[in-house]
Structure 1
Amino acid sequence: MERKREATRILLEEGLKELMRTRSFDKITVKMITDEAGVLRPTFYNYYRDKYELLEGVFQGDIGERMEELIQDGMEEDAIRVLFLRLERDRAFYKKAFEITGQNSFEEILEQYLYQMFMECLLKYPLKTQPGIKIWKEEVIAKYYSISLASVIKGWITEDKMEMSADEVTKGYYLLLTHSIFDLIDKKEHL
């Protein structure tokens, strides 16, 4: 029974991905998804409330589950690399997903997922003793990093001119993490 349930979930997720190759998300209906997946429309509601929850399920199945396994094993940096690799693998789908705006946007889904991931890390490990760090609550730190990482991802996925590999983006992201903006700018060039 569990295998059949998992197979149906995958059919629905793949159905959405297939439809998004040729249509915008806002034009896709639950009926279209179930037709593409080859299941009855009422079956959809045994798994998801709406197509937004299905979109979240696609992300969770493609990327989230793998990241969570790595985080549980103490491999948080590898989890970030897997995030970039998986997004690169299905870039066309995620580019379309970023077109979804407003409430339930993909960017909002991604930010919330990353926030939970960073909160888990902050609760798992104590903060290093550094001047000024203890004034920030874990929630503020997690929000800062989730918004910045989601922004990096969105720029990379949606900008046609940013033809960088997942490895290049991962390295660039870690460069941003480990340097302040003042380390990155060259004031001498401006003078």
Structure 2
Amino acid sequence: MLTKQRIANATKQLVLTKPFNQISVTNIMQTANLRRQTFYDFFHDKYDVLQWVYQSEVKEAVSRCTEYKTWPETMVKLLTYFNDNRQFYQRVIQIDDQNAPEEIIQEHIQNMIGSILADMARQKHINVDDDYFQFVQEMLSTSLVMRLKRFLKDDSSNLVLEAKQIQFYLQDEINGLLLRLGQPIYTN
């Protein structure tokens, strides 16, 4: 795990200093002071490193992300993670290749929202049509990723204000669904 982390740290360091399309596996391994071939013991390509960085760091930053009761604090933790790693993700989110990290982020957020909604349905004893459930997941995750990109782009973004607005937005969406289904609304 130490070697894998060294490769990830070297990749993060390089992403901050040069465009991703100019970073090679050789550059990464030279920065990590490791043999080039060692890279392939841990990763398929440099995009795989970005995916691992995101997945491992977000997993650590966002605990209990599948629970309906804690979704507001989950959103704050997620946004705080991106704020703390702003320069890195400002560059990463611009990568527009086949294996773009934005897709990994979008998929993660979509799965997280799906887990939160599924937990809400269990707790509230409601049935939501599978097609509509998927629609809500996609809409919310797409809008959150678009907002995240705007947040990352603007260095003067206020973390507290942005987190509060996202919480209100999600609470409004969840409450709209609950009201439509005749359920008590969510209060924070």
TM-score, length-normalised on structure 2? 0.80
Aligned equivalent of 2:170, options 159, 174, 177: 177
Q: 1:101, CA displacement in angstroms?
A: 0.8
Determine the C-alpha separation between the residues in 2 that align with 1:60 and 1:118: 16
Question: Per the alignment, in what secondary structure is the counterpart of residue 92 of structure 1?
Answer: helix
Aligned equivalent of 1:145, options 131, 140, 144: 140
CA, structure 1 residues 177+72, in 2 after alignment: closer, same or farther (shift >3 Å)?
Answer: closer
CA, structure 1 residues 122+176, in 2 after alignment: closer, same or farther (shift >3 Å)?
Answer: closer
Gaps of 5+ in 1: 1-5, 181-191
Determine the C-alpha separation between the residues in 1 that align with 2:144 and 2:66: 20
CA, structure 1 residues 33+135, in 2 after alignment: closer, same or farther (shift >3 Å)?
Answer: closer
Q: For residue 154 of structure 2, what is the aligned residue in structure 1?
A: 159
Question: Per the alignment, in what secondary structure is the counterpart of residue 71 of structure 1?
Answer: coil
Q: For residue 115 of structure 1, what is the aligned residue in structure 2?
A: 110
Question: Per the alignment, in what secondary structure is the counterpart of residue 125 of structure 1?
Answer: helix
Is the CA contact (8 Å cut-off) linking 2:72 and 2:167 kept in structure 1? Answer: no
Which amino acid is 2:162 matched to?
V
Q: How many residues align?
A: 170
Aligned equivalent of 1:92, options 63, 73, 87: 87
Determine the C-alpha separation between the residues in 1 that align with 2:97 and 2:27: 22
Q: 1:90, CA displacement in angstroms?
A: 1.4
Question: Per the alignment, in what secondary structure is the counterpart of residue 171 of structure 1?
Answer: helix
Q: Deviations over 1:83-131 (max 9, x none)?
A: 111111111111000110132222211101111111222333317589x
TM-score, length-normalised on structure 1? 0.79
1:106 maps onto 2:101 in alignment:
yes
1:54 maps onto 2:49 in alignment:
yes
Cα RMSD of the aligned pairs, angstroms, is 2.3
Determine the C-alpha separation between the residues in 1 that align with 2:121 and 2:132: 12
Identity of aligned residues (%): 24
Q: For residue 181 of structure 2, what is the aligned residue in structure 1?
A: none
CA, structure 1 residues 125+23, in 2 after alignment: closer, same or farther (shift >3 Å)?
Answer: same
